[in-house]
Structures are given as C-alpha cells and as structure tokens.
Amino acid sequence: MPTYEYRCQDCSGVSSFFVRSINSQLDPVCTHCQSTDMERRMSSFSMGKTVGSVHENFSAGSEGSPGYYNNPRNIGRGVESAFEKYGMDMPQTIRDNIDAARSGETPKGLDL
C-alpha cells in the first residue's frame, strides 16, 4: 500500500497517510496540530534507491546474502583474493580504487 508523506505548513510536522491506490484522493490533516495546510513530500518508494536504502545494506550479512555486494566494505574482496591466490602484489592504483570505494562516501548532490 502506498504511503504518502505530508509536511504541515503550520507546525512543520510530518504525517504519513496510507492510500488505497496511487490515484486515491486524499485530504491530509496534520496528525500533530490538525491543520489541513499540508504539502506533499516525496516518499522513498517513488524515488527508487535512496541513500536510506543504501545504508540499510550496511547491515547485510555475510557473502552470498542479498546486499552483500552492495556493501562498500565488501568492494574488491574478489579482486583481493584473486591476487592472493596467484601470489601477486596488487598494483597500488587498484588498491587505491578499492579503498576509495570502501570509504563509502556518498556522492554530493543526492540529498533531495
């Protein structure tokens, strides 16, 4: 069931409303101060992959579980083990790339 989030223009409180379908009419009333001066917020379900869902994957379990390869801490594991397997030293450029990716820095400009 879709959830719409509205921000109250009077008290800035955020209220969530379940709607039966995307096209349902909704007359949102602030759950904090009963104001009807509400402004629709973008809900995560309509934005696809959000920063929030990325962070949820941080707690993903061990290799093979869903989310493992979305976990920045696991980036480059396969590359590392391949170099280890053949007893080779990993070139510094690859090492740097993996470390940068693992730092998990969120690219600027995603904060909607």
Positions in the binding site for Zn ion (CB under 5 A): 8, 10-11, 13, 30, 32-33, 35
> Three-class SS string for 19-34?
CCCCCCCCCCCCCCCC
Please report how close the Cβ of residue 32 comes to Zn ion at its closest, in angstroms: 4
Residue with Cβ nearer Zn ion (15 or 71): 15
Please report how close the Cβ of residue 57 comes to Zn ion at its closest, in angstroms: 34
Please report how close the Cβ of residue 14 comes to Zn ion at its closest, in angstroms: 9
Structure tokens at 35: 């104001």
